[in-house]
Amino acid sequence: MYLPESFGQALLLTILSAVFWGSWANSYKGTRGYPFALFYPTFPK
């Protein structure tokens, strides 16, 4: 976990987290033709 050391860093992290909050859902909505399984990583067993 990253702890910002100044107000500017905290503000930047807050704005970035707000921008990327729904990136997974929005990318899925924009790619309706792709199978849902492509959005999950495959981990070896």
| Confidence label for 28 from pLDDT (cuts 50, 70 and 90) | confident
What pTM was estimated for this model as a whole?
0.49
| Confidence label for 38 from pLDDT (cuts 50, 70 and 90) | low
| Confidence label for 14 from pLDDT (cuts 50, 70 and 90) | very high
Query: Looking up tokens 């107000």, which residue turns up?
Result: 7
pLDDT at 7 (0 to 100): 97
| Average pLDDT over every residue of 18-40 | 72
Q: What is the DSSP letter of 33?
A: T
pLDDT at 29 (0 to 100): 77
